[in-house]
């Protein structure tokens, strides 16, 4: 299997079996974010306690890239401090700009599967949608 096939498989797995899809009933900030080029949207909920993201869930509609990225992001940031989550998000943005990043810095290995998106400018907004919601969410008072 080629690396591209492997990455495609990882993305489809997150799309078809999204992690953390759903709603947090209490003590959560909700961030709505949409991709203006296609109208797809995600609603992200974060629970932040003592400067740490203790839970994250999302729902919404979108393409496989946007939904897989949201699944990976929520999985990656749970348990991280706000500073760590922003650092990881910055790393993801750098990867989307096509910069060389140290993949070991991602708390979730699967995120690496999205690196190929950087070659398709029209899809970058799909991949960054959930991460933009994260950045907005951690800056919002709960
Ligand atoms: Fe809409 Fe990807 S095509 S988020």
| Cα of 37 from ligand 1 centre, angstroms | 8
pLDDT digits (tens, 9 = 90+) for 5-62: 999 999 999 999 999 999 998 889 999 999 999 999 999 999 999 999 999 999 999 9
Which ligand 1 atom sits closest to the C-alpha of 40? Answer: 1
| Cα of 77 from ligand 1 centre, angstroms | 22
pLDDT digits (tens, 9 = 90+) for 108-142: 999 999 999 999 999 999 999 999 999 999 988 76
pTM: 0.96
Q: Is the CB of 40 under 6 A from ligand 1?
A: yes
Q: 3-state secondary structure string, the chain? A: CCHHHHHHHHHHHHHHCCCCECCCCCCCEEEEEECCCCCCEEEEEEEEECCEEEEEEEEEECCHHHHHHHHHHHHHHCCCEHHHHHHHHHHHHHHHCCCCCCHHHCCCHHHHHHHHHHHCHHHHHHHHHHHHHHHHHHCCCC
């Amino acid at each position: 299997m080629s690396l591209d096939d492997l990455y495609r498989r990882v993305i489809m797995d997150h799309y078809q079996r999204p992690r953390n899809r759903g709603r947090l009933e209490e003590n959560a900030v909700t961030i709505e974010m949409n991709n203006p080029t296609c109208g797809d949207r995600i609603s992200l909920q974060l629970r932040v306690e003592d400067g740490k993201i203790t839970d994250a869930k999302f729902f919404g509609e979108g393409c496989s890239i946007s939904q897989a990225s949201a699944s990976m992001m929520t999985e990656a940031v749970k348990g991280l401090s706000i500073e760590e989550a922003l650092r990881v998000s910055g790393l993801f943005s750098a990867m989307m700009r096509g910069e060389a990043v140290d993949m070991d810095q991602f708390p979730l290995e699967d995120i690496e599967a999205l690196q190929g998106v950087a070659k398709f400018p029209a899809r970058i907004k799909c991949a960054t949608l959930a991460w933009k919601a994260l950045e907005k969410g951690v800056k919002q008072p709960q």
